[in-house]
Structure 1
């Protein structure tokens, strides 16, 4: 066997071992996702402003927003934000405000536009009008169990004094609390079932593993809790905005980026030295009717954004963290190095992979309504992983909420 082939096989087995280490770390991290204990919070707890940016009638909108009204926490307000008073979500918000008159809520309508990111534009008014410094930004499709806010504030404060927790953060303190998304296929189409299989297995496994290692920021913006004071202290990572005579800071500084959640989390980590924390809760993400093409476009969209914001080597290695390609490479390497049956190695690999994925899903659904994962959808998800990566890596334009954008080499986006 040529030396080059032997070296290639050996290098791949090292990579293969690292991939499996991540898989098992994610599985181990998922085991702590049992029903959290009820915390007895003192009367002097930090107040929290919950912000729910809305645009149109998202799937299961009423129930998702109603879960905010039922939170088990002594001191919070809810701000529903839209950019257009004719937005279809407004009647839903008004129904909830009428049903729960004792819950402190406000509807904010603010049409300002400071950049290409519609979510940043929608959050501006709420950030300015929030009563409390501690902000919890939650996407419209997300629902949760009542005790999640208690757990999140506890994770944010840690060992710090309550009064100083958001005023004078020290390097190494927690600056952001987030939650792993757990998908519920509210409408069981093939696209939504494949998306559910992705989020509840591969994505959850790797998300938990990377955040357990905590080498760098890895945050998805569906449910994020942080301090407004800390956000205001951030400078813009935008090359374009930094060239201005007065570069914006705070929330508006992230308006040129579509992945504002990732950019804000990175800035908290690197600019302020604040780490991130997770709780033993999930953010229930209700999925609407998706076709397979919708799923492909959704995954390709974030590959195209990520390749502009992440070192290319990291993005290039992503396909080798997927089950089929990693299994095929491992089978080839073990056959060449040890003369093991390639077919047997691949079958054992895929069997172990699905066992770990199912275990992760079952662990995460312990404290929510069980949804499971369709085996056929899981197989289709795995088969589509490499073609979607190739499709995503070959383009720079994306479509988000009906609008086309071009992602620049700086990571910023322009309307195409």
Structure 2
């Protein structure tokens, strides 16, 4: 009787996991695989569109940095400002560095170098001055390794303002239509969209096994679950690769750090997220829960240029974020995470079906893994439809990297649970409750 009950429970969990996987595939195909229309905003005069300040936080020379930053200067949008944010005036991306990048992009772009320290998170420290100096309320924060399609900004603004105005369609006679930028002086309110984000899609130029395994993870499992969770919209699930939000909304947030909230004057705004390594997720959670703002996605991917990464480097990266996540999410959510992965899911799923129906477990597991791979290949293919640049690696190389990733997942997860210490950008941290 006990094994029968377990079989029923495991079969139910197995079907739920497969439903989420198929939802991720369906979302990828529907949103990314077809033709995407350009934003109507790009054909309007500057006075008729909301201005956007694009902030690119930099730290050293990332892989393919010039091309990533150059994509910012080629965005097709009538009114935007670009700020390159640095913590040091001697950063390698500046003229005093080894290979100046920023000055060769555009004479009109601004750079903001400051050594403000409000917490352990270097990205938050890097963003403090640009947040204050931004010309516009709409902020598009894009990581230094990200490359965006020229139409991405227009579509992101479309998604941001759609719930505020009910439509993104403009009058054919633009002179008779009021400039919507005037209305955007009021930030989004509860029930409206307060954040637009993109699923990352990885490209590898320096092909090492670590970078290929990381690419296989980002372009399949991560993308599939990311899209499915956001399609369900039960809770916030956001990465900070390229996010559009209102500065006024961020400024009104109270720090989610329990120790800071208990103080007499808890920090508000961006500074309140300084204690968190995963500041992108914490900001998104605060916008969702504290302000009641929805999140939206567009048909654009944020192309992530991966540098050379060793297998050990890949393991360290995954361990770091497992240790951060286990402190940010309820224990039950963390405990269930490995049950959503292909190998363990296939083991308990094939056992449950064999227990209930008497089928061969080995054959069921083999079919499960083949179908799982086909779904992942479908997600990868859909997301790559509009990605320009280096052609993807061969299917054989991808499958080998995918297999290595799937086999390593459970050992990495168990190793990640063994400690709360992480190393990030050469510094060692201990993650405490709530992800600080």
* Counterpart residue number, 2:65: 61
Deviations 1:291-343 (A, max 9, x none): 10100010110000000000111110111111011001111111111111101
**Matches of 2:220 and 2:184 in 1, distance apart?**
34
CA shift, 1:98, in A, is 4.2
Instruction: Name the counterpart of 1:25.
Output: 23
Determine the C-alpha separation between the residues in 2 that align with 1:396 and 1:146: 41
Corresponding position of 2:176:
none
Q: CA deviation at 1:165?
A: 3.8
Deviation per residue, 1:20-69 (Å, 9 max, x gap): 00000000000120342122213311100000001111111111001101
| Contact 1:121 1:255 (C-alpha < 8 Å) held by counterparts | yes
Alpha-carbon distance in structure 1 between the residues aligned to 2:78 and 2:330: 43
Q: Say yes or no: does 1:301 pair with 2:320.
A: yes
1:172 positional shift: 1.2
Say if 1:296 and 1:167 are closer, same or farther in 2 by CA, change over 3 A. same
Which residue number in structure 1 is paired with residue 310 of structure 2? 291
* Whole-angstrom CA distance in 1 between matches of 2:261 and 2:350: 49
Distance 1:90 1:312 in 2: 44
Q: 1:98 to 1:377 in 2, by over 3 A?
A: closer
Structure 1: 4+ residue segments shifted above 6 A: none
- Structure 2 counterpart of 1:340, from 344, 359, 364: 359
CA distances 1:156-180 after superposition (whole Å, capped 9, x unpaired) = 0004243334514232100000000
2:127 matched to 1:106? Answer: no
CA distance in structure 2 between the aligned counterparts of 1:17 and 1:196, rounded to whole angstroms: 27
Q: Which runs of 5+ in 2 are unaligned?
A: 166-179
Match of 1:245 in 2: 264
Taking structure 2 as the reference length, the TM-score comes to 0.91
1:96, distance to aligned residue in structure 2 (A): 4.3
Say if 1:35 and 1:366, in contact at 8 Å, map to a contact too.
Answer: no
In 2, Cα distance between the equivalents of 1:194 and 1:95? 29
Q: Secondary structure at the match of 1:371?
A: coil
Partner SS state of residue 81, structure 1: strand
**1 CA distance for matches of 2:36 and 2:386?**
8
State the alpha-carbon separation in 1 of the partners of residues 184 and 325 from structure 2. 32
CA 283–99 in structure 1, closer or farther in 2 if over 3 Å, else same: closer
Question: Paired residue for 1:75, among 75, 79, 84?
Answer: 79
The answer to whether the 8 A contact 1:217-1:269 is kept is yes
Residue 394 of structure 1 and its aligned partner are, at CA, apart by 1.2
The separation in 1 between residues aligned to 2:435 and 2:307, in whole angstroms, is: 29
Aligned equivalents of 2:385 and 2:104: distance in 1? Answer: 33
Report the CA distance between 1:362 and its aligned residue: 0.3
Q: State the distance in 2 between where 1:210 and 1:338 align.
A: 31
Q: Deviations over 1:100-131 (max 9, x none)?
A: 33xx4101011010101110000000000000
In the alignment, the residues of structure 1 paired with residue 222 and residue 287 of structure 2 have an alpha-carbon distance, to the nearest angstrom, of 23
Given that 1:134 and 1:166 are in contact with CA atoms closer than 8 Å, whether structure 2 keeps it comes out as: no
CA distance in structure 2 between the aligned counterparts of 1:95 and 1:177, rounded to whole angstroms:
28
Q: Could you tell me whether the CA contact under 8 Å between 1:166 and 1:230 is conserved in 2? A: no
Residue 119 of structure 2 corresponds to: 115
Distance, in Å, in 2 between the alignment partners of 1:8 and 1:99 is 60
- Corresponding residue to 1:205 among 216, 224, 233: 224
Matches within 5 A, 1:155-170: 155-161=159-165, 162=180, 163-165=182-184, 167-170=186-189
Counterpart for residue 407 of structure 2: 383
Distance in structure 2 (CA, Å) of the matches to 1:60 and 1:287: 9
Match of 2:332 among 313, 326, 329: 313
**2:392 aligned to which of 371, 374, 382:** 371
- Residues 1:272 and 1:166: Cα distance change in structure 2 (over 3 Å): farther
Across the aligned residues of Structure 1 and Structure 2, the Cα RMSD in angstroms comes to 1.4
1:406 maps onto 2:430 in alignment? yes
Match of 2:295 among 269, 272, 276: 276
Cα 1:166/1:347, change in 2 over 3 Å: farther
**1:10 alignment counterpart:** 8
